[in-house]
A = this chain, B = another copy of it.
């Protein structure tokens, strides 16, 4: 009886591998640098030796493992098990699943980091026990995943929930994706930092005061910190971004009518300043019945979302596989 799984969290700067039982209890976990510049085959070798090492350190053999779950930035082709391309990793149409599956003779699945985090929150986090939930991450970018009718929803080309690129301002600023006025370009951590930098320049030319002058390099964290200290310019920048984020969340509510919306990523760490504002906007912009029945809560898994999500992916897909 196969009672264990392996999770792999592949990122631009680090790779984590963990073994776990089917209840999500981590047995052994190791994290190493990705060293992305060494190229795709070296990264694959590193992953394989990490899995080998994890099996040994956990006193397990491949016979004990139900499934290997891999979380990776996308876009991916999850049916083929390939990474199509991804900004911070050297993979181009790279078949990641087959060599791992062949090497260990274990059922192996790949999914994008938004879905993996959603599955993690659904199995072991803030979405536990729900049938319909949407996970949204707001950090340098905006992304997400959804569990609908009790199942992860991947869509036709496994690119569902590309929600960062939903248009909210038809004539808004240009986004990296080529479109303009995407929510990612209006309300992500990157967007907040960019708006603040621009606002500081304008304040300087007008001779206005702001506590943001003291930073050489403004990130969203500094903007939130100074807004909490009452700096008017920082507060204006934050409120504009959170207004868009609130509209975005209201739209997600009207589309999905979910039990819970889980918000993770750096921006969610600003706590009640973010959540109070989002709830205020969403209460005005969403259907009353939906608003009254949707919880808006912070993610529970935090920094471990990637590896716990990969383990959760392996558990859920493993159980489907042996059915």
Contact = CB atoms under 8 A, between A and B. Distances in A.
A166 B255 contact: yes
Contact of A251 (B131, B160, B167, B258): B167
Interface residues of A, number: 46
A251 B244 CA distance: 15
A289 interface: yes
A289 B75 contact: yes
**At the interface, is chain A mostly helix, strand, loop or mixed?**
loop
Interface in A132-178: 132, 148-149, 151, 153-163, 165-170, 177-178
Contacts of A254: 162-163, 165-166
A258 B293 contact: no
Contact of A155 (B157, B158, B179, B257): B257
Contacts of A247: 167, 170
A250 interface: yes
A167 B281 CA distance: 11
Interface of A: 75, 84, 131-132, 148-149, 151, 153-163, 165-170, 177-179, 243-244, 247, 250-251, 254-259, 284-287, 289-290, 293-294
4 cross-chain pairs, A with B, having the tightest CB-CB distances, nearest first: A155-B257, A160-B257, A162-B254, A166-B251
